[in-house]
Chain A
Amino acid sequence: MTITCAIIDDEPLAAGLLESYAKKTPYLDLKGIYNSAILAMKDLRDDPVQLLFLDVQMPELSGLEFAKILPRTTMVIFTTAFPQYAIEGYKVNAIDYLLKPISYEDFMRSVDKALEWLSLSMKQDAYKRDRFMLVKIDYKLQRISLDDILYVEGDKDYVSFVMKNGEKVSTMMSLKKLEYFLPKPEFLRTHRSYIVHMPEAQLIDRFRIVFGDVYIPISEHYKMAVEDFLDQHTLA
């Protein structure tokens, strides 16, 4: 997997350093280096890159302002000499920020973060599109169709998929991570230990979701999202 990237920094040396780092990283495909956000604007909107190294303090148009008008698919890593901008950076959905002077180790750590982010979102997309996932069970991969899931039960390091045919498939994974992969609001967390495939819920009884003789609780913490879903689908 390669990631397309670009660099914007008004100081040529700062841009040069990042350029040298990007070039020695095999899976980074450097598409452009710009000395100002204004010069980069057209290119990056017509032909978005996946990853952008963006300086915060620049004359005319600052990195923070520029990040707001970027396509949503572009991941931003801010570069700055002043850490007070970091918090503002996260407000515009930066995945990371690099404090100057930037070493190659710092750079790689941020790029790894971007990679992880990218693979997560690609998986998300794939599961949503193809309606199945492959689950590791004892060195084997088993196909699980999203449409066949009733609910998922979490227990420490394991999650168990409870399927329509009564089968139970367990794999090593945290419920929290799984929650992130599954499309929402089709799959909703209702409790610390449960994710429910909402269209399969047959009966809601005193605010518990009933599957046969299993009652799945809805905890206070997750109540809001579940209530919204139920309200939207309630005939009244």
Chain B
Amino acid sequence: MNKRLVVLLHVAMWSIMFLGPVSFLRSGSMTMAQFLLFSVSPLFMMVVFYMNYLWLTPRCFVRGKHRYYLLWNVLMVVCLGVFLHYSMVIAHDVFDVPVPRRLTKLETVSYIMHDIFTLAVSAAVATGIVLALRWQHNEEARLAAEAAKTEAELKNLRSQINPHFLLNTLNNIYALTAIDQTKAQEAIQQLSKLLRHMLYDNQEPYVALQDEIQFLENYVSLMKIRLSQDVDVTFVKNVRDPYQKVAPLLFISLVENAFKHGISPTEHSFVHITMLEDGAQLRVTIENSYHPKTELDRSGHGIGLNQVRQRLDLAYPSRYNWQKGVSEDGKTYTSQITIIL
């Protein structure tokens, strides 16, 4: 809250406290003496309020010195309460305001109790305000920190190259150089393009669809050199506007997962990728044979599906549809994302 506004609020509040009783008086009958008399009580409340507001709550209560806080308040409220009562009595005499009659002992005690209670409420209100403000402040700081963290995570995710993929691909290219040099050169070029996309193009919030497709094609080719010939890998695309802007690296995790869970050395395996764009919609379908792997195999740490969801939420809030799951016969896993462009 603005500091000036806070000061204004305090002034307004205390004005009401001081001037309030004046309005109860019959018009014109107010003397200076009476006004001063009425001001004694709010003055004491003010003392208690600011003692709590500026010192006891922030310095003692918030820092865990609850006993200290309580002791000081009780001492202050009781002393001031008693003092308030007798100062009123004396003030009546001094200003020569007529006192209805002499007070009985019981009445004196009840007046003192009333004064103490008023002051205690004042202390409680001050503490309440301080605590509420503090809580609000902390909450804001916490939310800001959380938002900053999420953003950093997303940035990190976007630029992340799976180190296992890189290492495995390089090892395979090394082997390829001994077996087929032309293919090895091709693979190095594909890897180079793939890295360029991940490191540079990816810094933009949106990239051309054709660049993203090229990137996925390079990835698929590099995965293919690691697989036996029997694995059936296809990549079908039907794009009307190759320059359509899309968020980068949205689908790579899904493709990664398809290779991770879809390839078995002993059974028939396939990965089918389809990308359709008709100007209004982009639909990406990834299908693979479903062979869940053992825990020990950690060759392809994909970025989790949760993070794909996060990125979609960020780039296309409520403009996408994502369906995924294993087919009824348990042999095919399909993941389909439709984005409204």
Name the prevailing secondary structure of the B interface residues. Answer: loop
Asked if A60 meets B172 with Cβ closer than 8 Å, knowing A11-B226, A17-B178, A65-B296, the reply is no
Chain A's interface size range is 20 to 34
Q: Which of B148-177 contact A (CB under 8 A)?
A: 164, 167-168, 170-172, 174-176
Beta-carbon contact of B294 and A62 below 8 Å: yes
Within the assembled complex, what's the spacing in Å between the Cα atoms of A20 and B180?
12
Beta-carbon contact of A81 and B264 below 8 Å: no
- On A, residues with C-beta under 8 Å from B are 10-14, 16-17, 20, 35-36, 38-39, 57-62, 64-65, 81, 100-101
Q: Which of A12, A17, A59 has the most CB of B within 10 A?
A: A59
User: Min CB distance, A191 to chain B, in Å?
Assistant: 45
Within the assembled complex, what's the spacing in Å between the Cα atoms of A45 and B236?
44
- Tally of B interface residues using CB under 8 Å: 27
Q: B266 contacts the other chain (Cβ, under 8 Å)?
A: yes
Closest to A39 in B: B266
User: Min CB distance, B318 to chain A, in Å?
Assistant: 38
Given known contacts A11-B172, A17-B175, A81-B171, what 5 new A-B pairs fall within 8 Å (CB)? Answer: A13-B176, A35-B265, A57-B296, A57-B299, A60-B264
- On B, residues with C-beta under 8 Å from A are 164, 167-168, 170-172, 174-176, 178-179, 225-229, 263-266, 291, 293-294, 296-299
Q: Which residues of B contact A35 (CB under 8 A)?
A: 228, 265
Within the assembled complex, what's the spacing in Å between the Cα atoms of A58 and B266?
12
Q: Which residues of A contact B298 (CB under 8 A)?
A: 57
Q: Which residues of B contact A39 (CB under 8 A)?
A: 265-266
Closest to B179 in A: A16
User: Min CB distance, A43 to chain B, in Å?
Assistant: 14
6 CB < 8 A contacts A-B: A11-B227, A12-B228, A16-B175, A57-B297, A61-B294, A101-B174
Within the assembled complex, what's the spacing in Å between the Cα atoms of A59 and B265?
8
Within the assembled complex, what's the spacing in Å between the Cα atoms of A220 and B265?
54
Beta-carbon contact of B293 and A59 below 8 Å: yes
Beta-carbon contact of B178 and A59 below 8 Å: no
Q: Which residues of B contact A16 (CB under 8 A)?
A: 175, 178-179
